[in-house]
Amino acid sequence: MKVVINGAGIAGTALAYWLGRLGHDVTLVERAPDLRTGGFVVNLWGIGYDALEKMGLLPRLLELQHHSDELRMVDRAGRTRGGYPSSVLLKLAKGRMATLARSDIAAAIYGALDGQVDTRFGDSVTTIDDDGTRVRVGFDHAPPQEADLVIGADGLHSRVRHHVFGPDARFEYPMGCHVASFEAAGYRPRNGNAYVAYTAPGRYVARFPMRDDRMLFFVLLRDEHLAGGTPCDHVGRKAALTHALDGIGWESDAIVSAIARTDDIYFDSISQIRMATWVQGNVALIGDAAACPSLIAGEGAGFALAEAYMLAGELHRHGNDTTAALARYQSRLHAVIARKQKHAESLAASFVPRTALGVRLRDYTTLLMRLPVFPRLLMGRYFRDELVLPDYGI
């Protein structure tokens, strides 16, 4: 089949990998001028870890993982008030967990495409006309082309979803927070391999040591601490972060100084996409375009990898009967991801408590993770996958 995939993040590159391996004619379109770099570091376990293993990419990515010895929660003076060793989570994942940059995952998969896929950077889908048999696709720059199947793998603000299913407002469910991340070179202190986090009411800021003496900063803000809504440019992002973090304690002065020097800040709302269906005719959604469980829920990257494998597998199993394959893809995954989204609602308060008392209680609760039994009681359900990847023979 001829398949157009819009978006070259984890979901899009993974689907292109499997479809290319199965002999389909794939066009992978990405709006950015090149593969995106930077971004979040994610813990990958469960079905996502299994999917990377099926692709044969796990050994390479394990070489690229970032090692953290502990999660350390500190107060405004930098004194430890909570946290636990990273080995606790590794044990919950039965040793099958890797801490990876999202961009490293996508780059490793893209590298494995090995010329089997036609990739177009600096372009994106602009029109989609599905007549029930074929889909005519228009682009920002390339001439239109016809396809048997169009896949939206273009994230939270998906163009494919907008054109085929409707505007974002119909499906986006805001979680009441915004997220930002950026990197700084040579930041001190470094604290070895510790992930160190500080929370002021409604504001959470953490630093994570990266390779090459770089530090990744991760910020969560309750919407009430974000003046003027989501900033739309780099200057606005710097101003919004500076306003929210200035003077809150811990290393806020040094972090605000790092913000002033950085030239790349990711900044967006934390939202979920909730849809009754991910499929319409010969168009389907995958990854954050379909559901976006949100970084609070975790496993977004893992589900993207699993969805890509299962969508390709169902197309293979159904002999390219796209209607049956897409229906089966959705029925296997939709309810599982919907339950994951519901879990995230209860987690938002623990990530960014609104009061000083809430912060203290959250920090002290994390100390229980050092004791036997409590890790499984408090977090065990997040490490139990309801889904096992089928064997499609691919």
CATH number at residue 29: 3.50.50.60
| Residue 146 domain flag | yes
79's CB contacts (< 8 A; 6+ apart) are none
Burial class (CB in 10 A: 0-12, 13-18, 19+), 79: exposed
Q: What pLDDT score was predicted for residue 347? A: 74
Q: Are strands 203-209 and 214-222 parallel, antiparallel or unpaired?
A: antiparallel
Structure-token match 């044969």, residue found: 56
For residue 298, the model assigns a pLDDT of: 67
- Residue 313 maps to a domain: yes
Cα(147)–Cα(331) distance, integer angstroms: 24
Predicted local confidence at residue 167, as pLDDT? 95
Q: Over the chain (394 residues), what is each successive 10-residue block's mean pLDDT?
A: 96 97 96 85 91 95 92 96 95 93 94 92 97 95 96 96 95 91 94 94 95 93 86 92 95 96 90 94 96 75 95 93 95 90 75 92 94 90 84 93
List strands edge to edge, sheet with 194-200: 80-85, 70-74, 194-200, 203-209, 214-222, 172-185, 266-273
How far is residue 115's CA from residue 337's CA, in Å, rounded to a whole number? 32
Number of domains observed in the structure of the chain: 1
35 assigned to some structural domain? yes
> Does 78 map to a domain?
no
User: Quick check: is 101 in a domain?
Assistant: yes
Give dist(CA 282, CA 151) in Å, integer: 9
SS3 label, residue 157: coil
Q: Is residue 232 part of a domain?
A: no
Flag whether 213 is in a domain. no
219 forms bridges with which residues in the sheet?
A: 180, 205
In this structure, is residue 329 part of a structural domain? yes
Is 215 within 8 Å of 66 (Cβ atoms)? no
Return all residues near 391 (Cβ < 8 A) that are at least 6 apart: none
Residue pair 21/394 in contact by the 8 Å Cβ criterion: yes
Distance CA 32, CA 229 (A): 24
Q: What is the pLDDT of residue 54?
A: 96
Residue span of the structural domain in which 116 resides: 2-67+97-171+272-348
In the chain, how many H helices and how many E strands?
12, 18
